[in-house]
Amino acid sequence: MRRQTALFTFAALSSACFSSQLDELAAGAFACGKDAGDAPCPDGQTCSSNRCETDDTLPTVTIGDPVDGRAATFVEGGPDIDQTVQFSIGNFELVDPNVTSEHVFGQGSIIVSVDGEIVQTLTSGSVTGGREVGVVVPNVVGAHRISVRLMRNDGTPYDHAAATERNLFWLSDGQPRVAVTSPWPGEVFSLDQQEIEVKLGVVNFELLPAEIEPALGQGHAHVHYDKPFPECPELDDGCDSDYIVIVDSPINETNTFAVPSEGAVAILPPEASAREVEITAILRHLHHLPYRLPDQGEGVTFPPMEGDIVFDSITISRQ
């Protein structure tokens, strides 16, 4: 019955006529997404921009360099970093939106962003064999987010997962750092949505389950929902009992990316109205105290009781 709903929705949006013998394997034959009642696509097809398209014709992008999680040395007071972004493209043709804004599946432009700012827009040329563009990464210690996204002729993004690639690039000073890698800044979640996927990236730090004794460069992370940082650990309860999930389970061999323990999920509280909120990850010692960067000079104790906490905050939208 849900498949019929999707078909009727499509028929209402198109002047084309379909018989009762409509081929369910045909690309673009069915509506999908929220406007179609979340109707599923047939096997071998994926929902893209409200239409079910065959998986082997979906436009795709993959970043080859910088490799996700790669770190370069931070030089205090140094210049901004010139970085080449190399990426490969599949099933896609560049078309200048100023020439035609009529959507044709598999056509459009490419935008490259650094830390949420668009730095390059590609509208012409071949993408066969891949492309590369030069970008500038601000000389700021910590994580920098690089993304490449495929756009439709009408200026809206292709919304299937393979149409956007996002990599983390670190400028490392040798100290532990953390970054939220999922959700991505700017993502939109409904007011009543509860479970969300949370992933973190770290550098110079090993993510492990909690233990009694602290250890240098080891610990886990607490993820907080819309709490004040960096002030939160200085409050009476230190925000220690007010987190939405603990992340401590590595998902790659180098321990640079991690997720909550098996069976644990991040739960968002419901919101009464649309607003922007912050998701914050803070590194914790194995025995749960905030992980602080050591003071400079002699006589530093471990774990340090003073020094900056190690955290990362991103903004998402509830609508």
User: Which residue positions in the chain have pLDDT lower than 70?
Assistant: 1-27, 295-298
Residue the block writes with tokens 């200026």: 155
Cα-Cα-Cα-Cα dihedral sign, residues 189, 311, 136, 199: negative
Q: Give 72-79's long-range contacts (Cβ < 8 A, gap of 24+).
A: 72/169, 72/170, 72/171, 72/172, 73/171, 73/172, 74/139, 74/141, 74/171, 74/172, 74/173, 75/139, 76/141, 76/173, 78/139, 79/139
**pTM attached to this predicted model:** 0.86
**pLDDT for position 19:** 37
Task: Compute the distance between CA of residue 126 and CA of residue 136 in angstroms, rounded to an integer.
Answer: 23
Task: Compute the distance between CA of residue 151 and CA of residue 157 in angstroms, rounded to an integer.
Answer: 4
**Count of CB atoms within 10 A of residue 53's CB?**
24
**pLDDT for position 300:** 75
- C-beta separation of 44 from 55 below 8 A: yes
Helix (H) or strand (E) holding 266: strand 266-267
Residue 55 backbone zone (phi > 0: left; psi -120 to 50: alpha; other: beta): alpha
**pLDDT for position 18:** 39
**pLDDT for position 297:** 64
Structural domains in the chain, CATH included, are 2-57 (no CATH), 60-172 (2.60.40.10), 177-318 (2.60.40.10)
> Residue 135: CA atoms inside 13 Å, Cβ hemisphere, count?
27
Question: What's the helix, strand, coil split of the chain in %, to 5?
Answer: 10, 40, 50
